[in-house]
Amino acid sequence: MIRTDTTPVRLDRPRKAAGADAAGQKNMQQLIQLRWFAVIGQIVTILTVHFVFEIQLPLRGMSLTLALLVAFNIASLLRWRGERPVSERAVFIALLVDVAVLSVQLYFSGGASNPFVSLYLLQVVLSAVLLHRHYSWSLVAITTLCFVALTQWHQPLMIPPRDQSEGIGDPYALGVLVCFALNAVLLVVVVTRITRNLRARDSHLADLRQRAAEEEHIVRMGLLASGAAHELSTPLSTLSVILGDWHHMRPFKSNPELLQELEEMQAQLMRCKTIVTGILLSAGEDRGEAPKPTTVAGFLDDLVAEWRGTRSATALSYRNDFGDDLAIVSDSALKQTLHNVLDNAIEASPIGISLAASREGERLVLEVTDNGPGFDPEMLERLGKPYQSSKERPGSGLGLFLVVNVVRKLGGSVSAGNRAEGGAKVTLSLPLSAIKHDG
């Protein structure tokens, strides 16, 4: 089935913005925004109570407290404006400052009898959402002690006698209503945003766990491949000696057809030994063939020549649009990765495939296209997962899995999709800093 949607599926490293540190930084930004709302709300409330309801307030003390809160918020904004990680202790201290400012304002405005005393609950709920249990219970104890203290120590307010018939027009009832509405609105807005940040953090942690499981899977595969390569080295060496002896025997030297087949067997045997060497190198076992300095053009030319040497030479169309050449290090794992992509493409499109190299800023972009049936939608959705393949063979589906993980190790990304004119396209994007040769 050919996928008609040509939007590529992209796989790369999880972005830092979705990480646990980013979630803490976003939560701190939410507290800073909430503090600005608190400053504006306190200014409006103080002016309304003092001038509209004509309830005398100590404006000097309350204004000084507001000025200190504004200064603290500006300092917090400057302190946490970058991508610096935010600890739970920092969030706890920020909430303590908010509790202290609220307590001072309540002290100046009637203490525990002030209808806005229930704003303590907002700080408690925020601590329950953002912090571990011991921090939350500590804030519960602190706010409770503040409430008890305000019942004993506060500046009384001269409130005009209440008329029970006033209903919502009564200043105290109106204050309770405003405080309730304020608590409800702020809780919905802030808790919703914080929950979204926490979900992003949890999603990031789930990605890390999935990535760790995939890397463990790769390690096991590497150990298995390394063991198999070691076991194959001995019989391959024995076969090489036998074929060398046969090459000098009269029955083979006198028969051109047998000699040609013998040479073909030797060529295929050398290919097997090269594959075994590549497996051992990829597993981290040096066999005297350390990574060599080369250039982008040299690396790609060698890769194409090696691939064409064991497949149909006309099956691959190669174009290099990288521009000015650049010194890099030839990496056997990367070369094997590109071989896997080309092998998958030629298997889907035996009539021909293409490889195009280009440069986008500081990245090497390699694009492999074919004229086959394209990717199934289900496969694109699970691109990069092990054993995802349309081939009906046991163990198939590891090629793209290894490709994605090798490229991701280098800091790059892999995207795949279907072309509008038919066929599939796989794009590998690699940072040049990961493969550049610095002399």
Digit-coded pLDDT (tens) for 210-263: 777 766 666 566 656 656 666 677 787 788 888 888 877 888 778 888 888 888
- Across the range 7-26, mean pLDDT stands at 53
Q: Do residues 9 and 409 lie in contact, with contact meaning Cβ atoms separated by under 8 Å?
A: no
- What is the percentage of the chain residues whose pLDDT exceeds 70? 79
Question: In terms of pTM, does the model score above 0.75?
Answer: no
Query: Is the model's pLDDT at 83 over the cut of 80?
Result: no
DSSP track, 370-409: E-SS---HHHHHTTTSTT--SS-STT---HHHHHHHHHHH
- What is the percentage of the chain residues whose pLDDT exceeds 90? 21
CA atoms of 117 and 354, how far apart (whole Å): 71
Range of weakest confidence among 26-40, 280-294, 358-372 = 280-294
Query: Is the model's pLDDT at 139 over the cut of 90?
Result: yes
Query: Is the model's pLDDT at 122 over the cut of 60?
Result: yes
CA neighbours within 13 Å on the CB side: how many for 343?
16
The domain ranges of the chain are 16-208, 213-282, 293-435
Query: Is the model's pLDDT at 420 over the cut of 80?
Result: yes
The dihedral formed by the CA atoms of 60, 64, 67 and 73, expressed in degrees to the nearest 10: -140
Kindly report the CATH class assigned to 293-435: alpha beta
CA atoms of 351 and 7, how far apart (whole Å): 25
Q: Which of 150, 127, 122, 139 is nearest to 34 (CA)?
A: 122
Sign of the four-CA dihedral 397, 403, 404, 409: positive
Looking at residue 82, what is its pLDDT? 72
| 7 pLDDT tier (thresholds 50, 70, 90) | very low
- Across the range 374-381, mean pLDDT stands at 80
CA atoms of 224 and 199, how far apart (whole Å): 37
Per-residue CA distances from 299 to 315, 328, 344 (Å): 19, 8, 20
Range of weakest confidence among 57-66, 169-178, 281-290, 376-385 = 281-290
- Across the range 414-429, mean pLDDT stands at 88
Question: What is the average pLDDT score of the chain?
Answer: 79
| 357 pLDDT tier (thresholds 50, 70, 90) | very high
